Amino acid sequence: MQPANEKTFAMTINGRRLTANDGESVLTVAKRAGIDIPTLCHHPAIEDFGSCRLCLVEVTKPEWKGWQGLMTACLYPAAKDLIVETQSERVRHVRRNVLDLLLARCPESQVIQQLASDYGVTRSSFTPRADADLCILCGLCVRVCESAVTAAIATLNRGRRREVGPPFGDVPPDCVGCTACAHVCPTGHIIFTEDKGVRTIWNKKFELLRCQKCHEPLLTVEQRDHLLKTRDLDVSYYELCPGCKRQRTAETFADVVLKTHPHFVPKQMGGSSGIPTVPFVQHKEVRP
Ligand code: SF4
Ligand code: FES
């Protein structure tokens, strides 16, 4: 593949010549090419942080005279003529060690168990953590809350007592019950429940608002109020779930089609043509 412009350049991953864009990480380029690099702390919606160390790859360049470094693919920037190996013996050896440690930290985590067994680790060579839970301390939950919601949770304590949760382990006053932390958690450590219109997360209860059309639980009152404060959208935007919004858009579109083409029969119902072109209406801007 030839570079299209000066912001686009060629690099090599596992012997494949690939095109990369300025500002992309090695992980992004690899993913686009369908090359698998295991990750735990990467989420496309959150800036990478490099905490799990699982995405380590070997990088070199022709001018480095044979020097090869181990770098995290999620943080290392793609560069012209970079040569990357994602499955070399050295890379697999280091990943095996990382997974050995993670398995000792979270022996019950199915995600870690599966990844570890992919690298031939079925039992950790380290002593499993006493009182082990499913948290690998990757920090994704804290960072999604900081960047997209209210920074209601944080990393607490130090050393062996390090954990994530609300300040002082109390019910978090700033939590709006959006569950973003639970959804980004790679190991399923953060649990929430929904029962009889009430969501519970971090020991805090939230009343759920329902979609005004299908009556499925939609979002919490606190979440809607937070979004009203931070996004420039009308309260009516939060009254329907995404499915009902799509349906309403489709119905509006069908109304327009039927008004402008009263004899239109959709193809699926035996009509001879597809969706007709809706006549273009020139709207004139009217200023007072
Ligand atoms: S709770 Fe989940 S997302 Fe948060 S630090 Fe632990 S493993 Fe990472
Ligand atoms: S995904 Fe790169 S360090 Fe975790």
Residue 109 Cβ < 6 Å to ligand 1: no
| d(CA 8, ligand 2 centre) in Å | 24
pLDDT band at 110 (very low <50, low <70, confident <90, very high): very high
Which ligand gives the minimal distance to the CA of 70? 2
pLDDT band at 281 (very low <50, low <70, confident <90, very high): very low
- Residue whose pair of structure tokens reads 């959208």 in the numeric block: 233
Nearest alpha carbon, ligand 1 atom 4: 141
Three-state SS across the chain?
CCCCCCCEEEEEECCEEEEEECCCEHHHHHHHCCCCCCCCCCCCCCCCCCCCCCCEEEEECHHHCCCCEEEECCCCECCCCCEEECCCHHHHHHHHHHHHHHHHHCCCCHHHHHHHHHCCCCCCCCCCCCCCCCCCCCCHHHHHHHHHCCCCCEEECCHHHCEEECHHHCCCCCCCCCCHHHHHCCCCCCCEEEECCEEEECCEEEEEEECCCCCCEEEEHHHHHHHHHHCCCCHHHHCCCHHHHHHHHHHHHHHHHHHHCCCCCCHHHCCCCCCCCCCCCCCCCCCC
103 vs 4, residue with greater confidence = 103
Residue 145 Cβ < 6 Å to ligand 1: no
Residue 53 Cβ < 6 Å to ligand 2: yes
pLDDT of 274 strictly over 90: no
Which ligand gives the minimal distance to the CA of 51? 2
Reported as a single tens digit per residue, the pLDDT across 6-43 is 689 999 999 999 999 999 999 999 999 999 999 999 99
Atom of ligand 1 nearest to the CA of 184: 3
Nearest alpha carbon, ligand 2 atom 3: 50
C-alpha dihedral (166, 168, 174, 179), degrees to nearest 10: 10
pLDDT of 240 strictly over 80: yes
268 vs 175, residue with greater confidence = 175
pLDDT band at 265 (very low <50, low <70, confident <90, very high): low
Task: Specify the fold of 8-87.
Answer: Ubiquitin-like (UB roll) (3.10.20)
pLDDT of 253 strictly over 50: yes
pLDDT at position 287 is 47
Reported as a single tens digit per residue, the pLDDT across 217-230 is 999 999 999 999 99
Reported as a single tens digit per residue, the pLDDT across 40-97 is 999 999 999 999 999 999 999 999 989 999 999 999 999 999 999 999 999 999 999 9
Instruction: Provide CATH 3.10.20.740 ranges for the chain.
Output: 8-87
| d(CA 9, ligand 2 centre) in Å | 24
| d(CA 240, ligand 2 centre) in Å | 36
CA 278/CA 257 separation, integer angstroms: 7
| d(CA 173, ligand 2 centre) in Å | 31
